Amino acid sequence: MGVYVDNKLVYIVQGGSLNTTLSLTPGSHDTVVETSDLCGSSSKLSVPITVTAKTEVWVNSPNAGKSSTVPAFVASATTTCASGIAAMELYVDGQLIETEQGNTLNYQAALSPGAHQTVVLSRDNCGGSAKTPIGLVVVGPSNTFTNLQASPVWNMSGQKAPYYDNCVDHIEPGACDGVTYSYNRNIASPSLTGSATQFNLGGSLPYSDVLFWNHLIGAFSSQNLPDIDHKLIAATKNFTYDAYFYVSSYDEVHTQALEFDINWFLNSTGMTWGTECRLRGGHVWALWNNVDKKWEATGIPCTPMKDAWNHVTISGKRNDDNTLTYQTITLNGKSVVLNKT
């Protein structure tokens, strides 16, 4: 017995029965099953077949469940269509909000607080399509701290190579010799709102750092949230760092790295979602390894625009066993899924 596809023999088997699986390209095909006996007789049966392309959508981010107001949608699609994927689409509550050509989607959406039904859909060039739904619950403003750059209670300390221990001149005079640092609020230009904050680092000591930080919850809270019983801190598990920063041409040449950190502490446990954009270290992102206490380059490009405002969003999660996960980094609308624990 044999199988012909479009007048070409593609399968043959001895005996009086046939059971096989064949791979066919999408489209219409003329297939024929033919049998021949030992006396020279034969018979055949024509079986017209129309093959549709199989398309699948793989969503790397976000995960279903709680989300920030600016979730990063990162997805890809595959298809058996020989002509490939035509486009990827993102729907929110039934409305198309983004279309990107090709087999990938990388888009940072802006969603209002509340429940949303989102769908990532792909369309191939053979008429096929596939979709993956993701149900999101967007956390509202009550869980968001805004305009932190305008806070008058930023803390700061210098850090000197090679150990980078904190030094604070106003506590110990001369401790930060060779390192200068300050910050200025209400900067009108450059500014997106007319009230930017400028953070400054200078001095004569090579490879010096300055650390600026703002306590949000707990002791010394700048948000009037002392959390004396530690209930807020204990319940906090999902974090989003969302900021705009300006890099001048001078900064780009003279700055080794820009660091963006989220810190969580409770009792004797502490963790840091540490990220740095290495401007003079290969223009890549690096992550802080909390276990081995060191920076690790990711190979992921970090090339902020010069003499312009850049938008960075970093998401992380504290797991039930008090390990941490780096989830995504988004720079100027393009996201990279990390999911690194």
- The closest of 294, 334, 295, 293 to 313, measured between CA atoms, is 334
Q: What per-residue confidence (pLDDT) applies to 327? A: 95
* pLDDT above 90 (res 289): yes
Element holding 254 (H helix, E strand) = helix 249-254
* pLDDT above 90 (res 27): no
Q: What per-residue confidence (pLDDT) applies to 23? A: 77
> In this predicted model, what pLDDT tens digit does every residue of 30-79 receive, in sequence order?
999 998 888 888 888 999 988 777 889 999 999 999 888 889 999 999 99
Taking residues 305-312, what's their average pLDDT?
95
Angle subtended at Cα 40 by Cα 35 and Cα 44, rounded to the nearest 5 degrees: 25
Taking residues 130-156, what's their average pLDDT?
89
Q: What per-residue confidence (pLDDT) applies to 170? A: 66
Question: CATH 2.60.40.10 region(s) of the chain?
Answer: 55-139
* pLDDT above 70 (res 312): yes
To the question of pTM greater than 0.85 for the whole model, the response is no
Distance (Å, whole) CA 147 – CA 225: 16
Taking residues 272-300, what's their average pLDDT?
94
Take residue 225 and report the two structure tokens written for it: 């949230």
Distance (Å, whole) CA 45 – CA 59: 43
The per-residue b/e assignment along 295-330, b for 16 or more CB within 10 angstroms, e otherwise, is: beebeeebebeeeeebbbbbbbbbeeeeebebbbbb
CATH number assigned to the domain covering 55-139: 2.60.40.10
